[in-house]
Chains A and B, each alone.
Chain A
């Protein structure tokens, strides 16, 4: 099988163009260069090691500094970024990637295949997603200065998505940094991206400045792909954990942009002329993840009963308030994406207490305590938990709500003795293979032979047939109920009126933004 990027059909290009136009920037006016953009972020990242740290905040900041071989366009198709071209041969087990020439790191050194080999080797050793891909990769070699070869022991069709994803990203670091960093964060943040890391004043800001030597792609900006040359001279990522302070900061002009604003503030903020409100779709979905290893919910009928009892409308309304910020969708992917599928979704939002009771009886439920692990640290998760617990109680479950802070939840969910279900959310990911609970390693531990078999087929399927196999996998999720999707939710961002050109995204990319001063 040979697939060349250059050979993509004109239909695909037309579709991408149409989707790109649909996802056009928030404001379309003549871009202006210069200025300092102040982005109030939700907190301080532990490091900017985008290969290792799975936080969205790290991805958001570090994607301005580091780049990957591939990325996603506005329709979530994989497109080359640092790669020039690629071929997949030998039944999907040999990826030959041609690199772009003349791409400079921020230290002035040219990026070559040696840097890519060292970076990908580190990524497959230290990154949680890199390790999944690493299980398939047998060797990463550099036949010449601008070519990299990845040899796989068996086909792994989501590999390009893995290489493109900016969370625990396969970012390219200079060879000497990738080799010396090991599992620790690099001592220097040197990438090839449109912005150069300049300064990190803890709790004050992370400052990046426009890369004067940025080797931009020639294609027009499209999603995360195409030309990434930035407009503003400098971006300051300012940690502002308190949401009220983020709002007041944008209203008073202290910040230009703020992310993750409480959706219950929307009605007030949308009429405020000092700011613009931005709704980010798709953003994520709520999850109730069962402990399948031990205890009450290791019985599939009990999990099915828990699913049958839930009224997702009540849950999502409690968590997100207005329907502007949620969608009762059973498919794990929204309509319009290649992964949308209605298979299995008849089991979503059943609101069927009688069915739940019947399943509980079949499971032999005798009133054992159903431990729901949740956190108040994220208000929407807590509200989601309260309503779900109430509905489960109505169905006859003896619910014990364990409310802890997030750090404790993260620790407890790793112990199968301590809970039956934990409440969390999952950010939108461009490829289903990136969904965390599909891994048997992830808390809740969905280790089932049928699932492994379908997942293996999904991971080795031809690109054209993968969406069909994903439908099977989604169906299995609704049958075995390893986790419950409560619904899609969206994010509210706010910006000052001068903030222009932004394309809403889970990981705000600010190279498209200019300040209308």
Chain B
């Protein structure tokens, strides 16, 4: 079946290039949704801005770094606390939000003095942190403030601090994806190679594209420790600023989220000849395959088999319990991009769940190549879906559960369909073996809960 123009899109026919239903015998050389292109005016898109992609997804995860957002307070507030990535230093990065608090007078007369004052205040108030990211936002980019110059001045006055500037205002690209790109490349150009890590193991990796959502990094760290693998840099779950400066010393880049962090892995391969190994950290069979590849790279296959055997013994019975009860359930995944292809086969193979619709907010065509290759025939694949499309697709495929973000989740709740937070999880972590059991438990609890049905009833009639 070619690209599809949904009924709700009849007045915006351009949307046909973004909606695909897979048919038997088709592959991605025949049809591939347009993606990473500007949202069509008139469509109620769910995308975030480019600044958000840099701050909320990657930079804001760092546990020892002040995240100073140079702009109006809303840019800081709206990218604070909406994603749960804890850290082992009492969640420094989640407890505070920092903003230069731009007002009209700063827009008119320039905001650099206000920025410098805010930087000094932040370092004075939090002397335990000597590292800072500064982000430009739409307002400060448009008036031409030069945060790099301000940062240089502060670093001259305070030689013990280091500041990294991310120049990616909200309007820089079509979605969050631009922010990932800008931060990856700028960090590579300016910071990688500036510090030498202490090497304590013959096996060293960078684990790239994991943001410690509800403890994913902690869970995987247990595996690395059991295998004797030193993670030089976690990009960026539970990581420090300085740890990320030493990425050039790893022997292998293991990549989970290729969309938000594939760029830095590509550059490390090009500039330092460090190989890139992409894995899926969600799902039993995928996680096992990823570990086996890492084991084969380092020649520690026996240790890996021992670990997998141990983890299967501990967690497979629980997974099977859920599989028995979830088999045949229909699921929709409406998230950013990569979780579509990470999850579509994993839930089918490990839990017997059929993924019937997938939508990506900021995925590129590379992501659609992956998900269409892995996804089911008859499933709906959408780029940058709008609200009406969500409603129409729900009617078409009738999912039992939807994994999505809080914004779309609110729509879904009103339809009385179980919703799981596919970005920040309900009760994670979801990565690794134990994590996938958590995902299965959340899915089971959602689809079996009577509340969704009761919410649609008039209590007077029930009584």
A and B bound?
Answer: no
Q: Which residues of B contact A (CB under 8 A)?
A: none
